[in-house]
Structure formats: structure tokens, C-alpha cells
Chain A
Amino acid sequence: MRFSLTREPITVSREPSPGAGGFVTFDGRVRDNADGQSVLRLEYEAFDEMALAEGQKLVEEAAARFELVDADVVHRLGLLEVGESAVVITVAAPHRREAFGACEWIIDQLKWRVPIWKKEHYASGESEWVLAQASPTEATDGLYDRQIRMPEIGAEGQQKIGAASVLLVGLGGLGAAVLPALAGAGVGRLVLVDADTVDATNLHRQTIYRRSDVGRGKAERAARFAKELNPSVDVAAVPEMLDAANAERLVQSCEIVVDGTDSLATKFLLNATCKRLGKTLVTASIHGFEGQVFTVTPDGPCLQCLFPETPTDGCVDTCAVNGTVSVVPAFFGVLQANEVVQSLIGGPVLMDELLLFDLAGKSMTKLRRWHRPGCRGCLGEFVSETPGWEVDTVEEAQERHADLQVVDIRELDEEPDGPVGSTRIPMGEWAGRVPEAPTLFICASGARSGRLVVDMRSRGVSRVYSLRGGVHGMVERN
């Protein structure tokens, strides 16, 4: 084993593919031992016609699935000595990750699907035809055995789970806990929606991702995870943000929707869309060691029955701001998956309750929810007015008040670049104080300024505003 550097070309002969950066080759050779027996040689036999047809299909499937530039498989037949190559698979893709994935996928599938038999000739003089591996069908046969044994599920319940389709929106902490449970349980179709990419700060709690996934799309990586866990599940990756433009189409495509997002706007949009289309929504949110979960059924009270006025995302913080630990989203994600399973097998769901749990004190509170007469959410309308105390841009506030002052309330040690013309007076200095002129308050995300403005207005001060999204929102809009 040696690592070397050379300034001369490395000689490996291959077809030129200028768009391909990653080439992976698998070379399966005859080993001198198998299951503790000493092996002298191997003999391979094929049902040629079928093997060729199935093999060709396999290669084309791999090319489409992994977006390959090229893929080639050669399998050897007849008598082979120890050290000879039995099968060689070469794969070319733009990036290495797909090349590795495709090459391993092809050899796994080939062993299952392509009718080639192997005879082992042992040093003892004996020989034996060997089955390479259980077929995927056989593996799936036992897969749900333990589930079917539950009296609440049985073969009928398993059939319902297998026939179901679930839209999972948000593949962060909650989604990463929902996904293994539902893919494992054998939900027939999973549609995974998230426009984000994996960040290093996600990994501690979003344990379906690996470090090598950092920078890659969550939807695609989560789909890969689910397929590897349970190849019999049909998985689709949608690398989009759920919004008013695509909500109807996505929600319509599935029976049950799981909300794993950290956006209040998305939660209320999902709520209205599910109500309109008659779908069941399982929603959850976490904060510190606490969280809440409940299910909105087509006939039950909805999220907007609870909060008639849609809160803006700036009014409370998300995990990125407050922090969280792996067990919290895992706990609430599992509770969401349980709601899906219970819903599918006809078990009880939290349809007119809200469940609160605190993982520090291990205390649970269930609060009864009810239909609010005239609820617009129940009618399928998404209520999303910006409240009067919030503005989307500095200009919007200036239009209302010519004498507007802009005050940046971040601490002095935070990033120095407030908007042009703003004065920095940190949050703490506003306790009990009232601005003399109309004022737009600005902070990093809009959370602190919103809090300050709401507090002032509750004391009768008008003409104070908060910039929605804060400085970060301004940067993102530019």
C-alpha cells in the first residue's frame, strides 16, 4: 500500500467523456475461500437471453436513476480460477457521489435480478451450486412480519399502510424523524418536499444525513435514505419550497400531509390547503425541550380555529435561533409518524386536542380544541395579512411618515452594518422609553424589533413599526 504523486499521465484506458468527473469501477473476482471452505475455482452459468434482457434493463435504469454519463457491465461465464474477474462494472457520472451510488446499486441489483448461477468447487473435491443472495421480494416478505402480528394492524392494516401516500413537507429535525418511521413501516408512497441543502449544523439532530451530504439538497438526500432503508417504498424528491404556487398540486398528490417545517406561514398555508382539499394534516412545532403536536382532520377543528390571526414568522424564533438537541425533534417527529400510522389503521388521533410535552420535566398536557364558527381556515382560505405594526421594507414605513426615524436595536457587538441613515440604540435602552418621532425598529431577524413594537403598542404608543425579517431579510431580498 503506497501513496504516490506523479507528474506524468496516469494510464487507465477508458472512453473519453468530457462531461464526466467521476469514474467508478467494480471488479468482482474469484476468492480462494467461501464460508470457511477453501475454494479452487468457480463456474458461472446463465440463462443467456433473459440475463441479457434483464441486464440491459438494469443498466438503463441505473443511467436514468443516477443521471449517468455512461455505464457498462460485463459478466463472465464458464469456469474461472481464483483471482479471475467474474464481473466488471464501469460507471461514469459528472460527480463522484452518483458514480459510487450507481456502481454499488448495479452490483446489488444484478445479484438479485439477473439469472446467473454460481457453482463453487472446493479443495475438498466437492462442489455446490450457490444462491447469491435472497431476492428483494423474499426480503420484503418478512419485513412487516412484526407489524402484521399486532392485533391493531394485521394484514389488513399493513395493506392500508402500503396503499397510503404521505406528503412530508420539511426535512429538518422533525422530518428526519418522521421519515425512517414511515419508510420502515412501509408507507407506499412518500413525497419529500424541501428546498434547503444540508448544513453542518443540521447533522446532530437530522440523523438521516451524513457529513458527505453537506451542501446537497435535503429532498434528494432524504429520498436516497428512504430508498436504501426500504426499496419497496416509492419515494419522490421535490426540491422546492412549499408556497402558494405549488401547495395545491403537492397536497392533492397525497392522502396525508405531515408538516415538519419551522415556518408559521407554511404551517397555516398547509392547514388551509388541506382543509380545502379534504386531506389530513399532522403538524408539530418545537421550542427548547418542549413541543406540540396535533392532527387536523377534514372534519375536525383546524390550526386557524386556534389562531384566527396568522402569526408572522418573525414573532417567535426557530431552532436556528433558539437551539435544539437531537432528542427533541426526534421525539415529536416520532409522535407525528404515530399519528400517520394511527390515522391509516383507524386508531385514535389528536383530532380535537393539542398535545404539549416537555422533555425536561417529562410532563404532558392535552388541551381540547374546537371549531371556531366562521373560521376562514376551515373554508380553505389562507389568512395572511401583514399586521399593522409590521412593514416589509424601510420605504413602506417612510411612505406613512415623512419624519420617520430608523433605529437599529441590535447590540453594539453585532454586525455593524445597519441600513443607511439608521441610528443604533440597543434593545435594552428602550425599557420604559417612548420614541418622540415615528420610528421603524430594526433587528437581525425581526424577532426582537417585533417584540419591542408589540410591547409599545400594548402601552398605547402608536406610530412604531418593526421591519419584518430584519437586516437578514433585507440582505436576502437584495
Chain B
Amino acid sequence: MYSKTVMDHFMNPRNVGEIENPDGVGEVGNPVCGDIMKIFLKIDDNRITDAKFKTFGCGAAIASSSMATELIKGKSLEDAWEVTNKAVAEALEGLPPIKMHCSVLAEEGIHQAINDYRARRNLAPWEEKAHAHHDEKEDCGCTTCNTG
């Protein structure tokens, strides 16, 4: 059910771990729903010099965390902010529809981490856009979307 790239990032996840003294941290998800993603950023001169993650979740959640951290490393904060869940899913060569929310979680995790960095610097948070999958009215299967 998973693409080769998803399996590769699940079996050999990149950037697992924590960053000591991170410049920004994001934590999204909910253990009740079966996934929590924690993203750690090291930021130098408005650029992400390191990114790490810790994830409790399914194969897609772990692969999305791995891919998302790969995608943002080296990017400016503005560019990293534009890494959408779709970009993560595409880089993974697709996710099953029911697992698309994992890529959304990754996008949200990055955004939270960046806004955490901004908050620490007393900057106003950047604004979240509506997630692609909510626009498309695709049923992502997650309880949150289904029940609310």
C-alpha cells in the first residue's frame, strides 16, 4: 500500500532525534488519534541549518516526518513555510488517501516550529493557510476531520 519511497523513509528515517537547544520546536497531533509529531529546528541567519523529529505514529507519519525534515533543511524560513503537505506527499511518491493527514501533520509541525522560533524572537506568528486536503473535500479518514 505504501510507495517505495515511503517504505525507504520509514525503514531508514532521516533526521530522527532531538536537537539540543533548538531554536524552534513544533508539536502537533494527538496520542488519542494515534499520531504525534515533534519537530526541532536549528536556525541560523533565517535559514534552517538542521531539522530533527520524533514521531509516534504509523508508517506514513514517520516517513512524512523524515521527508519533511529533509525538504526544509537548508531552506530559508520563507521557503520552508511554503513546503506544503502536498509537496511532502509528492516527494514520497504519494500516500494512500486515508494517510494524507500525515503529510498535513508534517506541514503543521514545521509551521508550529517556525512560529515558535518567531515567538521566541517576539515576532508575530505567520498565518496558517487552510490545508489543501480540506479544500478538496477529500475524506482524509481522520477522526478529527470526520467528526468535526
Whether chains A and B associate is no
Residues of B within 8 A of A (CB): none
